[in-house]
Amino acid sequence: MQPCQSLERISDCAGETALTRVLNKGNTYQYVFHKPNPLMQGFYLMLVIGGFALFVQFGLPLLPNRRLGYFHVVFPFVFVLWVLLTFVAASNSPPGYVTAKNAALLERVYKYDGFLFVRQECSTCKTPKVARSKHCRMMGRCVEKYDHYCPWINNTVGGLNFRYFLLFVLSTAVFLVYGTYVIYNLLMFIIERDRLWDVKFMNTGTNELVKANWMIIFQFMMAHHGMLMFLLVLCAIMGITLVAFFIYQLYLIKNGTTSNEAQKWADVKDFYASKKWEREQAARGPDFPSDAELLRDTSAPLAERMVKEFPSKPPTNIYNLGFWENMKDVIWPASLEMKRVWLKIQEGKEKAGAAQQANKASEASSSSAGQTPSSATSTPSVASKDKRPTGRGKSGSKKKA
């Protein structure tokens, strides 16, 4: 077999992979940054499964001990399984796509506020642009209550799967915090078991014996228990990051916004804070359209609507119903409930139509069955008429005799 001489001939070689095909076409950048791909999913699984394998190899043999009981021998296995289940759920749950068929239904759930969201058409999908929706360039479709595209789960986060995403973030954050707690106690157990605070260490520079301090013990642990130290730092840093991210998600829920809408509201606040509307009004002069003209033109740019329709301050967020109502909408989305009701209505209509067809069929069968006995009864009536004259003739003949 001839070796591959160039990228153009890679596809002709045995052992061709999807990555080599991408490289061959020169679409590496597009594939990594502009197309859905499982690269970050694989990296996440490598961190979770690989880190847990290191814990099993270097940490589990130290359990149980005077700091951690038997509970911590079994619970990590249950916890990592739960984290992986939430990861699978968040990765495979649909975010809720806007189509021409369900757009009218979704418009009943997500009302237009006339400020951030006005009735218009998606320039890419050519479908109605439902309020709070956005066209996801990664997935190539419009998503209801669009939040963001998450490469860690290779999925768009929208109205229907935000609850699974939030559960995934919470599970991973708690798992990392728990891992930090367990590994910290394992390291402290090693320090106490080996009595490192009572040991004197030799200074390699001066060859003098020095008493233990935190820096010396840290260097000793890095040299002799490097894997556990690595896991501690990894869990601590990623745990703090994810806890902060989860708190930020709760903050967005409290405000009744998504990540996408939060950026829009931030731009609006900056707009009014800089008094930009005053400068734009002065620059436009008397030819600036009137309030009535702008109100008729619902597709006017947001900046123009802010200047004339809301000259002093932006309107309130109509989607903010309070923290608990907002959380309720996250756990059980209103669009999902609306779809359930709609499906019940459609099912009722189908049953009503089937019942009407059954009634028509039964009426048709009964009418056809009613015609058959009438024809059968007409025959004996004729026969009876034929028999009566015969009897009368016999009786009449007897009388004559």
Domain extents for the chain? 1-35, 37-95+146-255, 259-316
pLDDT at residue 79, rounded to an integer: 96
Measured CA to CA in angstroms, residue 324 lies from 61, 76, 108, 250 at distances of: 45, 32, 21, 11
Low-confidence ranges of the chain (pLDDT < 50): 1-15, 374-401
- Supply the pTM of this predicted model: 0.74
Strands 200-203 and 208-211: antiparallel
Residue whose tokens read 């078991």: 193
**Closest to 119 (Cα-Cα) out of 281, 296, 286:** 296
- Specify the pLDDT at position 188: 95
- CA-atom Rg of the chain in angstroms: 38
pLDDT at 243: 97
Give long-range contacts, CB 8 A cutoff, 24+ apart: 221-225: 221/187, 221/190, 221/191, 225/58, 225/187, 225/190
pLDDT at residue 148 in the model: 94
Question: Tokens standing for 140?
Answer: 């190539």
pLDDT at residue 5 in the model: 44
Cα(48)–Cα(363) distance, integer angstroms: 67
Smallest Cα–Cα separation from 166: which of 322, 325, 158?
Answer: 158
Our CA dihedral for 267, 271, 272, 277, rounded to 10 degrees, sits at -150
pLDDT 10s digits, 151-164: 999 999 999 999 99
pLDDT computed for residue 377 by the predictor: 46
d(CA 63, CA 328): 41
**Which residue from 192, 194, 198, 195 is spatially nearest to 212, judged by alpha carbons?**
198
Query: 71-127: per-residue pLDDT in tens?
Result: 999 999 999 999 999 999 999 999 999 999 889 889 989 999 888 888 889 988 889
Residue 176 CB partners (closer than 8 Å, separation 6+): 235, 236, 238, 239, 242
